[in-house]
Structure 1
Amino acid sequence: MKKNEGSDTKAIEEEGIEAAEAGIETRDDPAPAGFGLGTNSKALFQPKRGTVFVAPKDTELPTDLSKLLISCEGTGAWSNLGHTSADNLPSWDSDGGDATSKDSWKTPGARTTYDAKTVSVSVKSIQADAKTLKFIYNGWEQADPAKPKGVVMSLDPAPRDIAMVVVSYDPGTDSNFGMYMPSASMKADGMPDLSSDFVEFGFKANAQSSNVLPAGPNGQEGAFMLLTPEYFTV
């Protein structure tokens, strides 16, 4: 009996080595039935490069996401914002959503409620061309041909509603990851910043719910869609 057990163990070990050499993920035990989660080393992602695509509010994604790779200039209503800062990458911020425990007369902590939450993303463009600056600062150009040209902006630039996709690329795995907001209220974030390697022109976009995204199982509206590598095709 012990001889058979030893043979079985050796066979299992050899199978595991062969699987590892082939790059196949193996588990010591079956995946649990609950959420079906497990280790996937191939899903590790390093956003070494990236860009931002923008479009009018509620613009849907193209069916083929390879049209939104960082090397693409755009497709349909989607435009590539171009060069953005490598020092200050797009950053997401969440405010609110604090939990409050509610007691009943009979039971402490009978229910938990959550405050309203806002989510925003900050982007720093480094392209100092008129089209980009008019977009970020919601500005306008001098119309009189007899006067010097330039981009005019107000003291408090008005917000505008846009759709946006932040796309990042991992050259180590040749894969892409994206975050899609079909509806966001965008506004310039301060004045041009001359303290980095390139002049930075920032804006912040606050996410809004949108019926462009499919409703959740309980009818809730979505605000984001995470575009994992398997959804990008080349």
Structure 2
Amino acid sequence: MDYVALTNAIMASYDVYLYAITGVYFSMQSPGAQVSPRLLNEFERVAHGIRKTFLGQVSDVLQGFQADSGLSHDSPVMSDARTAAAALYDDIDAIAGANMHSLRDRLAGKGAMLADMLKGASGGIGQLLQRKLEKPDFKAVDASGRKWDAKTLMRTMVRDYGYQSAIEHQLAGMTGDLAVVTYADPEHANHGLVFSITGKTPGYPSFGQIRSKIFHPNSTAQVTEHVSP
């Protein structure tokens, strides 16, 4: 499993998760009526079970990715891979939890406001209007406090984890200290840049120095071992 497959697998599960908790949310709406505490508790119970299933799928996919990538055995990057995977899992859990709680809050606070918006609408038109007005718009906040569309942030985090893990694993397998940045497009400004993996080879920038600039979340850069001419 490569990082693209990893991203697609987790995003597919996330789409199902959002669809499922939104379905529960809609099933418990009653236009113009306050939602009872009992119904709110029931929403939390059912949504929590869906969230638990989703997180189990995430855990399985992450473990499969590590195994397929050679990160599930003892290696110089093993501990870092475990730490990064655990951090990603926690971030995914936080977003999934925020999604669930946002629906719970919407369910608790709709009542009279929705009733006013639906005045004059009846039958099928009223139902369509209700769903349009109440369609959840899932948001998430990153570590810097920036607000994102939840799906965009989820995809960015998962893809970056997989990509960074792949780059680290490639570097860990090299016999020398020098590596080369490559792109599918040989005209790219950073194509052919030679760097020191450890930072111990004089005259070359270290991996740490170039990492955020070159190996960013949307990067397509790859690495190969440098061979002296």
Which structure has the highest strand share of the two?
1
Highest CA radius of gyration, 1 or 2? Answer: 1
Q: Please state which band the TM-score falls in when normalised by the shorter chain.
A: under 0.3
Which structure has the highest helix share of the two?
2
- After TM superposition, the score normalised by the length of structure 2 is 0.20
- After TM superposition, the score normalised by the length of structure 1 is 0.19
